[in-house]
Amino acid sequence: MGPRPNLLTRRTAGVASTTLALLLSTAAVGVVPAASAFSAAPAEVCAEPADVHSDARVRPGGGAKHEPNELTLAETREREADMAAALRERARFRTGAGATVTATAVTIPVVVHVIQENSTRTGGNIPDSMINSQINVLNQSFGGATGGAATGFSFQLQSINRVTNPSWYPIVQGSSAERSMKSSLRTGGKNTLNIYLGELSDDLLGWATFPTRRLSSTDGVVVLNESLPGGTATNYNQGDTGTHEVGHWLNLYHTFQGGCSGSGDSVSDTAAEASPAFECPTGRDTCTASGVDPITNFMDYSYDSCMYQFTPGQASRMLTAWNAYRAA
C-alpha cells in the first residue's frame, strides 16, 4: 500500500546504572477527592488488567509485535455494560435537579510529565513550546476548529513536571516501570488528564487508559515526545497522537473496532471499517454496509495530515463517558 513512512531510528533502551535523579513531588496524591478510591497500588488490584483499559496508536511497519490493547468483542461488551452501570450508579447518587444535570461543556485540567533520560533533546528534553502547541492542538481538535464536531471539551495546562529517570526511559508499554512511573507521578482526580511524554517502546506512538469507575493509578495517556507539534516523528508530528489518545481516555474506540460487523465502535455516525487505515488512502472502502472508511477521523491510524475530525456521535459518546466516569 505505497511507500512506508519514515520510521524513527530506534535507540536501544539506555538504562544507565547511574543514580536516579527523581525530580518530582510525591505529595500529589493528597489532592485526590475523598470520594474517589484512588489506588496508588499496582494495576493488579484493579478489577481488570490495566491493558484491558488501554489502547495504542502504532506506526505502520513499526517494530510492534502486536497492538498492545486491541479490544475483543467481549471486552467492548464489558466496557459498554460498565458505562451503563456507571451511569445508573451516578444517577442514584444524584437527587433533585442534580439528577438530570450533566455537563455539556468541560474544561479538563492537564498535567504533563516529561520523562527524560538526560538533559539532551534525544534524551527526552523537549521544549515547553512543543507542549504548549500540543495543548493548542487538543483545543482545536476537540473544539471543531479543524473541521470536525465541536465536542464541548477544552484543555487547560496546569503544570509541566520534568522527571529525569533513565529507568523510565523509554517508557515500555505494560511494564512494571510504567506502573511505577505512573503511580509515582499521577496527580489529580478522575477529571485530571495526566500526559506522560517520552521515547516509547515497540515503535508505538502512544497509548491510553479507558475510563474506569475506580480511578486507577495508571490512568492517563502516554505519548511519543517527538509526536508533538514540531517533533521529529515524520508524518506523525502534528500532535494528533495526543488527540487520538485523549479520545481513548474519554472512552472512544478505534473507528475500525469490531470491523464490518456488529456495533463496531459503538458510534453510529462513523462508517464501519474492516481494519486500520495507514498513510492517507482517500476513498478506501473496506465494508460494504456503510460509507467510505473514516480515514480522516482522529480515531483511525492515518497520518496526522490526513486526520482532522471527531463526529457528533463521538462527541456525544465522550460527554456521556465524562458524566459516567470523570465528572466531579
- CA dist 19 to 15, 67, 163, 231, 280, Å? 11, 33, 13, 29, 45
Under the binding rule (CB under 5 A), the answer on residue 219 touching Zn ion is no
- CA dist 258 to 67, 185, 272, 317, Å? 15, 34, 8, 17
Taking the least distance from each CB to Zn ion, the nearer of 55 and 273 is 55
Query: Residues 226, 245, 273, 279: which is the catalytic one?
Result: 245
Taking the least distance from each CB to Zn ion, the nearer of 55 and 82 is 55
- Smallest separation, CB 226 to Zn ion (Å): 18
Taking the least distance from each CB to Zn ion, the nearer of 55 and 226 is 55
Torsion region of 222: left, alpha or beta (phi above 0 gives left; psi -120 to 50 gives alpha): beta
Q: Which segment (52-60, 89-97, 282-290, 314-322) binds Zn ion by CB under 5 A? A: 52-60
> Prior bond to 170 cis, omega within 30?
yes
For the four alpha carbons of 168, 172, 176 and 180, in that order, the dihedral sign comes to positive
Selected from 53, 57, 179, 190, the binder of Zn ion by CB under 5 A is 57
Q: How far, rounded to the nearest angstrom, does the alpha carbon of residue 27 sit from its chain's CA centroid?
A: 25
- Smallest separation, CB 55 to Zn ion (Å): 4
48 is catalytic: no
Site for Zn ion, residues 77 to 116, rule: CB under 5 A: none
Residues 3-42, mask of contacts with Zn ion (x by CB under 5 A): ----------------------------------------
Q: Which segment (21-29, 57-65, 66-74, 94-102) binds Zn ion by CB under 5 A? A: 57-65
Backbone phi and psi for residue 215, each to the nearest 5 degrees, phi listed first: -60, 130
Selected from 55, 178, 265, 304, the binder of Zn ion by CB under 5 A is 55
Burial of 100 (0-12, 13-18, 19+ CB in 10 A): exposed
Taking the least distance from each CB to Zn ion, the nearer of 55 and 304 is 55
Taking the least distance from each CB to Zn ion, the nearer of 164 and 241 is 241
- Smallest separation, CB 208 to Zn ion (Å): 7
Count other Cβ atoms within 10 Å, centred on residue 6.
12
What the block records as the C-alpha cell of 45 is 488490584
- Bridge-based pairing state of the strands 204-209 and 54-58: antiparallel
Sites of contact with Zn ion (CB under 5 A): 55, 57
Q: Where in the sequence numbering do the catalytic residues fall?
A: 245
